[in-house]
């Protein structure tokens, strides 16, 4: 059996008392179905990774728990009851038989292994640099060097931010702020990065 993530132990321990045995049991079934599965936390919920792809995610709420098999091709008929293919799970009695759940997990893992990889989306084209920004960059060699080294997504963030300004005064302020930040090597949303 592969390692178990202590963050998932903590998630289960924080869950409502009724949900704890459900989540522990589901975790055991997932490991039984796919012994090489890796545990992780995705979107604040326990996730199980198989061959680098999310296989399953489970959650706990005030009055029920849920299990979602990621991109499962086969419906269980309980999807409308709540989040996940197994509906609202309020007790162990709400679970399908163990062998059925294990078979669905294995089928999902198998189907995912044979599915062709999704094609990568085409890169978005570069936006034209506003004249005011181009002039400001030309006047600040350090900012220009940083701009040239920026990833296209970072350049796009600045170009869109400046382009959204409706008044010329706002646009000028944004260009001045952008030149300052770019010279410091900061992306447009540097405040929100860790």
For the stretch 14-72, pLDDT in tens is 999 999 999 999 999 999 999 999 999 988 899 999 888 889 999 999 999 989 887 65
Neighbours of 27 (CB within 10 A): 23
At 116-171, the pLDDT tens digits run 667 888 888 889 999 999 999 999 999 999 999 999 999 999 999 999 999 999 99
What pLDDT does residue 83 have?
63
Domain(s) labelled CATH 3.90.1150.200 in the chain stretch across: 6-114
Task: Answer for the pair 178, 170: CB distance below 8 angstroms, yes or no.
Answer: no
Q: Which residue has the tokens 């179905």?
A: 33
pLDDT tens string 80-99? 555 667 778 899 998 889 99
Q: What is the pLDDT of residue 189?
A: 87
pLDDT at 192: 80
Indicate the fold that domain 6-114 takes in CATH: 3.90.1150
Nearest to 132 by CA among 165, 107, 102: 165
DSSP-assigned states of every residue in 20-69? HHHHHHHHHHHHHH-TT-EEEEETTEEEEEETTEEEEEEEE-SS-EEEEE
Q: Which of 69, 71, 66, 55 is nearest to 94 (CA)?
A: 66
Q: How far apart are CA 93 and CA 143, in angstroms?
A: 63
Least confident of 75-84, 103-112, 163-172: 75-84
pLDDT of residue 122: 84
Distances (CA, A) of 97 to 89, 103, 120: 13, 10, 38
Q: What is the mean pLDDT of residues 166-194?
A: 91
- CA dist., res. 35 & res. 57, Å (int): 16
Under 8 Å between Cβ of 65 and 119: no
Task: Decide if pLDDT at 73 tops 60.
Answer: no
Given a cut of 50, is residue 181 above it in pLDDT? Answer: yes
Residue 127 structure tokens: 């936006």
pLDDT value at position 191? 82
pLDDT value at residue 53: 85
Q: Are 39 and 75 in contact (CB under 8 A)?
A: no
pLDDT at 109: 86
pLDDT value for 113: 67
State the pTM of this model: 0.57
Q: Which of 163, 184, 162 is nearest to 174 (CA)?
A: 162
- What mean pLDDT do residues 184-193 have? 87
């Amino acid at each position: 059996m592969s390692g178990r993530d202590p963050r998932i132990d903590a998630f289960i321990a924080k869950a409502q008392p009724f949900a704890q045995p459900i989540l522990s049991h589901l975790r055991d079934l997932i490991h039984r179905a796919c012994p090489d599965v890796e545990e992780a936390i995705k979107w604040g919920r326990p996730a199980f990774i198989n061959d680098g792809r999310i296989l399953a995610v489970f959650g706990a709420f005030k009055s029920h728990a849920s299990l979602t098999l990621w991109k499962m091709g086969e419906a269980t008929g309980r999807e409308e009851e709540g989040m996940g293919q197994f509906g609202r799970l309020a007790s162990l009695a709400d679970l399908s038989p163990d062998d059925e759940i294990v078979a669905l997990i294995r089928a999902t893992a198998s189907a995912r292994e044979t599915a062709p990889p999704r094609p990568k989306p085409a890169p978005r084209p570069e936006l034209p640099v506003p004249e005011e920004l181009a002039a400001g960059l030309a006047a600040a060699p350090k900012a220009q060097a940083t701009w040239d080294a920026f990833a296209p997504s970072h350049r796009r963030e600045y170009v869109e931010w400046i382009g959204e300004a409706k008044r010329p005064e706002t646009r000028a302020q944004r260009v001045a702020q952008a030149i300052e930040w770019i010279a410091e090597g900061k992306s447009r949303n540097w405040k929100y990065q860790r």
